[in-house]
Structure 1
Amino acid sequence: MWFNYLKIAVSCLMFLSLLGCHRQPPDIPSSSRIPRGDCQTVRHLGGETRICGQPQRIVVLNPKMLDIVLSLGVQPIGYAEIFSNRRGDFDRPQEQIPYLGDRITQPITNLGMSSKPSLEKIIRLKPDLILGDIGGNQQQYSQLSKIAPTLLFEYVGRDKWQDSLQAIAQVLGRTNQAKKIIAAHRQQIATTRQALAGVVKTYPKVLMVSSEQLNSSINLVTSLDFCGGLLEDIGFKLARVSNSTPTNITQPISIEILPQLDADLIIVQGHNIVELSNIKNINTFTKTQLQSVQQSWQTNTLAQSLRASRNNRVYFIPTYICLGLPSPSGTQITLQSLQEQLLPLAKTVNQN
């Protein structure tokens, strides 16, 4: 669910709506390619789009599309952000675009917010392909399609990026590269699963929650979430409120029920809306995103009473990765973070 906004305050509403209200769509084919001579018709969540030739000037309307295009070895010419309303140019992308900016090697235009990109700027760029999100860009789809062929895909959720990657790679003539990316993803899952096998066996149940401050809101993360799905991929079992199959990536809960969800490990997705534009470097960005929820967790009596807290088995990861980068790089960052945080626990398990 997306909201039209231009100010950071309304960006907060959108971020929180993603945390608690996004409903997982039914499983439908997200895209397919029908060759027609030098042209192809691509079926996607926005409809059917005919593309002739191989696109060279590509506009991406969210971090997931940016990561996919960069992973395929293509530099886009325009980019819209998802969680902040940064003004001005991306003249220092490594300091302005979290996690992906250091891979941008050519000028890239700031198109504003993902949910309401600047059509005027897009027109001036004269793109030959626009890549966006069905939830955030559906209302502008007809306008965007008049500017250039536009493809819309599902944004959040478990493994959704692989469908998008394969469809975009087909359009860009880079299907072999897409296969390598997916193979690398599967290998990384297998490697992490093996490295943390002892931890999974000893501490199988994980409670994953998302919050900015515990006294304001807290959401239970399900297996439909990108990061929640990765935890299950490497063998953990996520704590649930009930045994019913989840339909949303997160579920709002009261902090009072946390003891009922007590688990062997706790992983907290943390975010700080105000500091989303303050990157400077990735270490600083990660720290500012986690600082608030870490402090509230450490000072909350109920949170500290949980078994995992008492045994120093609570870990943190930025929500930005799980919601903003459900993509190849998001996988790498999440699994690397899990290994770095959990490997000391694995050594303890192995010693015992």
Structure 2
Amino acid sequence: MVLQKNPLAFLLLFVIAILAAGCGAVSTPASSETSTPAAAAPSNDAYADTRTIKHDLGETVIHGTPQKIVVLELGFIDALLDVGIKPIGVADDNKSSLILEDALTQIKGYTSVGMRSQPSLEQIKLLSPDLIIADTSRHSSVYDQLSKIAPTIALNNLEAGYEETIQTALTIGEAVNNKAEMQHVVAKHKAKLQAVQAKVTKDKQSIVLVGNTDTEITVRNTGFFTAELLKTVGYRYALDDVPSFAGQKEKGNIKMTVEQFLEINPDILVLMSGEVDKKDAKGNRPILEDPLWNELSAVKNNQLFDVNRYTWSLRRSIKGANQIIEQLEADIVK
């Protein structure tokens, strides 16, 4: 009744209502502008360093810098340590002794995820990794299952040659967002390599790597990581000199008798020893007493060198190559 008698008062109330509604409309966008960047920032940060990593079994998208990494072959441990990252899980065949002491000390507290040939998917999943590094030859059959747990890249380590191992390290550096640092590690290694190359005798002595000698002699093939490294240093790999062995392409071991090994007859013989080798009370292998073995030129000329099998065989990494080069300089290079 009052409003009907006073149209001016009605109009004033109407204007006030419009202004109040207008103020509310302005405040909502302001509030939205304030909150949106704060909500979006974590997402932008998380995806700022998105990379697509090409590897042996395809391509994998990785966001940011992985921190919780599981490795399924021993050589990958060194690649991570080279750029300051410690793996949280390692396939170590349930034997930490497979890992050389200097690396083992640095990754103290890691979790074993079982056998390299058949890692425990359940244990890997419990670790909630943000990156898995698998071996191409060992883990191709479980790659899809691994990829469901975390982004997974597959690279060759078990059967890798020297140059492939270098490329693997560079790929890992890119995957963990440390590409430049890994390139620096490779450059330092190449400088160490060039230094020993200058010291190797110009007549290119032949050299060969021998593992087990308990029943048959197992010789590392010419495509093996350490064999390729020795050839890069400047040696001839003795198997390449014998037609019956030079054509064999497998990258593992060639088994032969002492008579067959005499056909190779290297100038330098590197005997890789580990805990599995049979030895007598004096710590010598029984084969050292074999008359045919003692007909070898390397044995006659005191060019038989006993080395750690884990360093010279299992440690397929830049750090492993550096240790081999250092021992070459200290004990073998003339």
Range of TM-score over shorter length = 0.7 to 0.9
2:84 aligned to which of 73, 76, 98? 73
Deviation at 1:73, TM superposition (A): 0.8
Helix, strand or coil at the partner of 2:84: coil
CA deviation map 1:303-326 (0-9, x unaligned):
111122112111122333343211
CA distance in 2, matches of 1:269, 1:299: 17
* 1:150 paired residue number: 152
Q: Conserved in 1, the CA contact under 8 Å of 2:209 and 2:227? A: no
Helix, strand or coil at the partner of 1:117: coil
1:80-229 mapped onto 2 (5 Å cutoff): 80-81=91-92, 84-86=93-95, 97-104=99-106, 107-155=109-157, 156=159, 157-195=161-199, 197=200, 200-201=201-202, 204-213=204-213, 215-229=214-228
Q: Conserved in 1, the CA contact under 8 Å of 2:156 and 2:164? A: yes
CA distance in 2, matches of 1:74, 1:323: 23
Q: 1:98 to 1:301 in 2, by over 3 A?
A: same
**Structure 1 range deviating more: 124-133 or 164-173:** 164-173
- Amino acid paired to 1:201: K
* 1:324 paired residue number: 314
Q: Conserved in 1, the CA contact under 8 Å of 2:78 and 2:103? A: no
Deviation at 1:105, TM superposition (A): 5.0
2:295 aligned to which of 293, 305, 324? 305
* 1:60 paired residue number: 71
The CA RMSD measured in Å over matched residues stands at 2.5
- Amino acid paired to 1:328: I
CA deviation map 1:55-85 (0-9, x unaligned):
111111111111101111111111111xx43
Q: Conserved in 2, the CA contact under 8 Å of 1:61 and 1:132? A: yes
Deviation at 1:99, TM superposition (A): 4.1
**TM-score, normalised to structure 1's length?**
0.72
* 1:23 paired residue number: none
**TM-score, normalised to structure 2's length?**
0.76
CA distance in 2, matches of 1:341, 1:76: 33
Helix, strand or coil at the partner of 1:138: helix
Q: 1:107 to 1:99 in 2, by over 3 A?
A: closer
* 2:7 paired residue number: none
CA distance in 1, matches of 2:163, 2:105: 23
Q: Identity across aligned pairs (percent)? A: 25
CA distance in 2, matches of 1:192, 1:99: 25
CA distance in 1, matches of 2:271, 2:308: 8
Q: 1:105 to 1:260 in 2, by over 3 A?
A: closer
Q: Conserved in 2, the CA contact under 8 Å of 1:210 and 1:319? A: no
CA distance in 1, matches of 2:261, 2:120: 43
* 1:29 paired residue number: none
Q: Conserved in 1, the CA contact under 8 Å of 2:70 and 2:88? A: yes
Q: Conserved in 1, the CA contact under 8 Å of 2:196 and 2:325? A: yes
Q: Give the total of aligned pairs.
A: 280
Q: Conserved in 2, the CA contact under 8 Å of 1:58 and 1:128? A: yes
Deviation at 1:101, TM superposition (A): 3.2
CA distance in 2, matches of 1:337, 1:175: 28
Deviation at 1:106, TM superposition (A): 5.4
Deviation at 1:246, TM superposition (A): 4.4
- Amino acid paired to 1:122: I
Q: Which has the larger radius of gyration?
A: 2
CA distance in 1, matches of 2:164, 2:178: 19
